[in-house]
Every structure is written in C-alpha cells, then in structure tokens.
Amino acid sequence: MDKAGLSPVLYLPHGGGPLPLLGDPAHQEMINCLEHVVRLFEKPAAIVVISAHWEEEKPTMTSGQQPPLIYDYYGFPKASYEISYPVKGEPALAQQICDLFKHANIEAELVGQRGFDHGLFVPLKIMYPDADIPCVQLSLLKSLDPLQHIRMGKALADLRRQNVLVIGSGFSFHNLKAFFSPSNHESRNFNESFEQWLMDTCANAELDEQERARRLVQWEEAPGARYCHPREEHLLPLHVCYGMAQSPTREIFRLEIMGRRTSCYLW
C-alpha cells in the first residue's frame, strides 16, 4: 500500500499472446518491467484483473473456485497450450465486486464457469510465478464506451482500501498489422506521439481530474490514436484503472515490445 494506505492499481501490457512466456527476446523489456514492478509494493492478498480479451454487455466477474486457463491465441507452438498457472479463484471477492457495482447502480453479473484468459495468466506468471494469490477476472463492456469504463473504476475504488492489487491488462499500443510490418517514419511518429500524449494525460500533476478524465474519454482526438488503437479494447483497461485512482500516476515505465513503444502505469 502507498503512504495513504491505498493498494496499487496497475495498467500493464501483456504482450503478444504467449510469447512473453516462451523466451521471446522482443518481450524482454516487458518481462524485466513486470519483475521489477512487483518489488514496489507488498504482496497482495488477492488480485483483480481487467482483461482486454473479455467483453460482455455488463461488467462480469469470474466466481469459480478454480477457473481453468483459456488459451485464447492461435498458431503458436504446442508448448503455448500446455502453460500451467493453477491459481485459485476468489468467489467472495467476486461477490463483493458485484455488490460494489450494484451500489453504484451498475448492473453486473457473476459467472462460475469461465476461465482465466491470457490477459491474466501471462503477466501474472511473470509477476507471481508461484500462483499463490487468488484472482478474479473482470470483463470490459462490449460498448467500448470510455466514460462507462471510468465509471466502472469509480465503483471499485473501495477495493484500494483492502490489500487487493487491481491490474488493467491491455497494451498502450495495439495495432496488430503494424507489429508485423516494417517500421517507418510515419508509424514511429504515430506511436511515439500517442505514447507521449498518454503519459502526459496520466502523469501531469498540473491537470485537474476533470480535464484528465475529459482527455481519456476523448482519447480519439490524441495524435496517432486510431493508428495505435484501430479498436480500443487494449486501451480501455487503463480507463478502469484511472477511474479507481482519479489521480496522476505514481510511476510510468517506458518500454519497447516487438519494436513498438509502449508503457506501464502505476497508481
């Protein structure tokens, strides 16, 4: 917890499918970052992960005791589908989250059968390889409405007064075509301009929170926005994180993954 007694909130990149767990050198900076960041706060009693790879009509939480892993990627080596991360669920925490949404007049749902996708198990296997911290996974909204995702975060703010780590698992740059195309001046400029805008938006202490929220809601106005996010599902976990914190980020970690600039944000 920080000096105010609040648990951390973290927006991080989870990389390209299972590649961070397969020794891919293009993910080494991400691995180094995640191994470092866990040393900045105490070990949590539970973890909540908002994954870019799960969308529902309403906020939906896993409530199973031992959710299986969902290998939601295709065309990777056989070892990618044999990854083990036998972490337990936390049904009581899932119910608490559902109740927090209800208190904020947000309809929510529990699902007992859904497993944990790679937005959860890839980063957590790096951060907490012993798989000894129970987890709940939380969906995004199919609407992809940035304001509604900030509202989701606001509803969950009380979790910060418990020893619960909340992770928004996405990617601050997520243009799949660009990852597999040669980099050029225009693409680098779009990438770096959006990264700079996002860092300034999240970290600038001179912005009041109304302006910070306005920028995040109107993120499409940022330079290079739609190049970096042709579809915004990998950005929106950040909006949930910001909604929980409603403050400038405490720390930003700049890194490169697969030849593209990206960043990790800690509140």
* Confidence class for position 1, pLDDT limits 50, 70, 90: low
Q: Which helix (H) or strand (E) holds 228?
A: helix 225-228
Indicate if the pLDDT at residue 255 is higher than 70.
Answer: yes
User: How far is the C-alpha of 261 from the C-alpha of 195, rounded, in Å?
Assistant: 7
User: What pLDDT band is residue 124 in, cutting at 50, 70 and 90?
Assistant: very high
Structure tokens at 238: 């950040």
With contact defined as beta carbons under 8 Å apart, do 100 and 159 qualify?
yes
Indicate whether 36 pLDDT > 80: yes
Q: Which two tokens stand for residue 22?
A: 């397969």
Give me the chain's average pLDDT, please. Answer: 96
8 Å CB contact between 212 and 205: no
Q: What angle do CA 136, 179, 124 make, to 5 degrees?
A: 20
- When pLDDT is averaged across residues 66-91 and rounded to a whole number, the result is 98
For 210-237, the pLDDT digits (tens) are 999 999 999 999 999 999 999 999 999 9
Of 118-122, 140-144, 188-192, which gets the smallest average pLDDT?
188-192
- pLDDT over threshold 70, residue 14: yes
- The span from the CA of 112 to the CA of 25, in Å, is 36
What are 144-195's pLDDT values in tens digits?
Answer: 999 999 999 999 999 999 999 999 999 999 997 777 777 777 889 899 999 9
Closest CA to 38 of 161, 224, 167: 167
Per-residue model confidence (pLDDT) at position 182: 72
pLDDT at 31 over 90: yes
Q: How far apart are CA 106 and CA 153, in angstroms?
A: 11
The percent of residues above 70 in pLDDT, for the chain, comes to: 99
Given the structure tokens 């337990």, which residue do they identify? 88
**Cβ neighbours of residue 208 closer than 8 Å, sequence gap 6 or more:** none
Q: Taking residues 96-105, what's their average pLDDT?
A: 98
Where would I find the beta strands (DSSP E) of 29-96? 46-56, 60-62
Secondary element (H or E) of residue 165: strand 164-170
Q: Distance (Å, rounded) from C-alpha 206 to C-alpha 221?
A: 20
Q: Can you give the pTM of this predicted structure?
A: 0.96
What's the pLDDT at 184?
Answer: 77
Q: Tell me: pLDDT of 3 over 60.
A: no
**Which CATH class, in words, describes the domain spanning 9-266?**
alpha beta
